[in-house]
Structure 1
């Protein structure tokens, strides 16, 4: 295995510490919301291009509250913007971490699968008759193709 990019271990203690850190993050952000797919699609998105718009709208509303209806909650708007701005660097950091964890998981999974394929191929080539036949057959089930049902041809 010439290209083994992640040759390391994650100790049970370190895994537990990471899981505890994630639990702490969740504990410190008890207000997090779980949106359904439909809700997520239906909401207007505040991205990089819209941040300046939101900031300017807040400034206009703060300096000129008289044109807003009485039901408009300027403090709630301000609180939402402040929370968004506080969450934004956390989101960026967690996104980067998630990408690193995902990439590492993909890489080590690929390495494990490639090594498993080598074991299977070596076992097929030289393991027959050495008491490995049933194990080789068991590994080979991973590659068994399901037979396609033959469609009866319509008669003319």
Structure 2
């Protein structure tokens, strides 16, 4: 088994990162909302491709306001654009952080799980030949796999 990740993050660094994220959350709390799953499905969404279009429309609506429909509030349109312009860079940074955190925890978790399975299979073999203490450990650990039947070569063999 190749060890692809070997990190030790000081508890103080983890706490500082958590505190910084909590501060960001507190700063943005008055301005952010949560949509319901139905709302997320039904509203039109602005993507990377639509963002330049909206920016051009903002410019045109400023230069040629006669084409702005009366039901579109230009002040609110501008506020929405300013909100997007300010929040998108934060969202992109958070997405990068989330992606690297996800990848790092996934890889570290995978390696930890492989090590745990190796230990489990070692205890299982020891229990089969009646090594002292092995049976109690095996019986406790095997509860994780109850009802799963036989597993592939990547999982424990039951």
Shorter-chain TM band: 0.7 to 0.9
Distance in 2 between the 1:40 and 1:65 partners?
31
2:124 equivalent in structure 1: 124
Identify the residue that residue 26 of structure 1 maps to in structure 2: 25
Which 4+ runs in 1 deviate beyond 4 A?
none
Structure 1 residues 122 and 61 mapped into 2: Cα distance closer, same or farther (>3 Å)? same
Deviates more, 1:15-24 or 1:51-60: 51-60
Name the CA shift for 1:27/1:146 in 2 (closer, same or farther; >3 Å): closer
Matching residue of 1:10? 9
SS at match of 1:48: coil
Q: TM-score, normalised by structure 1?
A: 0.83
CA RMSD, aligned part only? 1.9
Output one character per residue of 1:2-22: Cα deviation in whole Å (capped at 9) or x when no partner: 322221222322221111010
Superposed, 1:60-75 pairs within 5 Å as: 60-70=60-70, 72-75=72-75
Q: Which has the larger radius of gyration?
A: 1
Structure 2: 5+ residue stretches without partners: 150-158
Residue aligning to 2:145: 143
- Aligned partner of 1:56 in structure 2 is 56
* CA-to-aligned-CA distance 1:125-150 (integer Å, 9 cap, x gap): 23533122111111122222269xxx
Partner of residue 87, structure 1: 87
User: What is the distance in 2 between the residues matched to 1:42 and 1:93?
Assistant: 26
The equivalent of 1:150 in structure 2 is none
